[in-house]
Amino acid sequence: MRSDETSTLDTNQDDIQIIERLQETTRKMRSELAKVIIGQDDVIEKLLICVLSKGHGLLMGVPGLAKTTLVNAVSEVMSLEFSRIQFTPDLMPSDITGTDILQDTDEPGKRAFVFVKGPLFANIVLADEINRTPPKTQSALLEAMQERRVTANGRIYRLPTPFFVLATQNPIEQEGTYALPEAQLDRFMFLINVEYPNRDEEREIARQTTRGSQEKLKACINGQELQEFQEVVERLPVPDSLYDYAVDLIRATRPKESEAPDWLKRWVSWGAGPRAVQYIIRGAKARAVLRGSYLVRQEDIQAVAYPVLSHRLVTNFQAQSEGINVTDVITRS
């Protein structure tokens, strides 16, 4: 990086103090989360990046890996209102957005319809097994994720701030599920793979979860502080060369673009859209702050590329016949 470029990207002193406070706060949050979540450091970091970037996350993993416990714990340490929606095939849009209910008024003998808010009206919404609900209900969630609002009976209701959706999906059980449309997948900033713990972690899980009640988690941050941290992340400087790097990286995933290599054109039928560039930049900013940096570096972009791209690339039959998956494509890119 050129010295003149660095000099134009200085972070002001007030933001530096906020970033230092953010780093101390995240250390405390990790310490609290460790009381109920053993290991999964990478998953926790990606969740924090999503939250600091005002993005939504899709957690992919088999049952029993504490995905629900993790999201609930995050809401506790952030002192945010938490809501869990168990998605099922019979779930209707009004079940999550809310509905009008006829109620008595202050005037004797008179009744009126009053809107009763659904579980979407929370700061952190856990959409459990999101692919088990039909497209109509998925569409209602899509509006909430994108617009931060819901529409019921022709009226618009704003969702609380901050607001983000953390959804879970089981990758092995597909019977009775509805594939998420590409438009909704694109609204998720990260696809976060939750893997099995290693042997030592699994031994510690067995020890801690079978010895009685667990410690109550302490709140380390509130909604107002979180918004302050989100704003300072947005202001973090990014060199122009890294904007070029991020754009070139995304354009190279599209088989119809001239920037795409021949091997990618042979294996990929659909690449990432412009929203992927936005999420890579936002995610790189949040990662830089969490790592104690006041300037985004190329390594930050590379680190968030996989969770941003893994659910946005579509491989073709040629790739499948050769045993090539999305992970192979991203790694080679």
Q: How confident is the model at residue 8 (pLDDT cuts 50, 70, 90)?
A: very low
Q: How confident is the model at residue 275 (pLDDT cuts 50, 70, 90)?
A: very high
Cα–Cα distance for residue pair 58/126, rounded to 1 Å:
10
The CATH class for the domain spanning 236-333 reads mainly alpha
Buried b / exposed e over 140-154, threshold 16 CB at 10 Å, is bbbbbbeeeebebee
What percent of the chain stands above pLDDT 70? 94
* pLDDT of amino acid 228: 93
Q: How confident is the model at residue 6 (pLDDT cuts 50, 70, 90)?
A: very low
Report whether pLDDT(5) > 50: no
* pLDDT of amino acid 111: 79
Q: Residue ranges of the domains in the chain?
A: 14-89+120-209, 236-333
Top-confidence residue, 15 or 47: 47
Report whether pLDDT(3) > 50: no
Closest CA to 22 of 296, 285, 282, 239: 285
Whole-angstrom distance between the N-terminal and C-terminal Cα of the chain? 23
* Global pTM value: 0.87
154-181: average pLDDT: 81
- Count how many residues are written for the chain: 333
* pLDDT of amino acid 11: 64
* pLDDT of amino acid 134: 85
Q: What tens digit of pLDDT does each residue of 222-236 get?
A: 989 999 999 999 999
Report whether pLDDT(1) > 60: no
Q: What is the mean pLDDT of the chain?
A: 87
Helix (H, G, I), strand (E, B), or coil: what is residue 228? helix
279-293: average pLDDT: 94
If 0-12 CB within 10 Å is exposed, 13-18 middle and 19+ buried, where does residue 9 land? middle
What percent of the chain stands above pLDDT 90? 50
**How far lies 77's CA from each of 35, 48, 151, in Å?**
11, 12, 31
* Residue pair 159/120 in contact by the 8 Å Cβ criterion: yes
Q: Which CATH number fits domain 14-89+120-209: 3.20.20.80, 3.40.50.300, 3.40.50.280, 1.10.3720.10?
A: 3.40.50.300
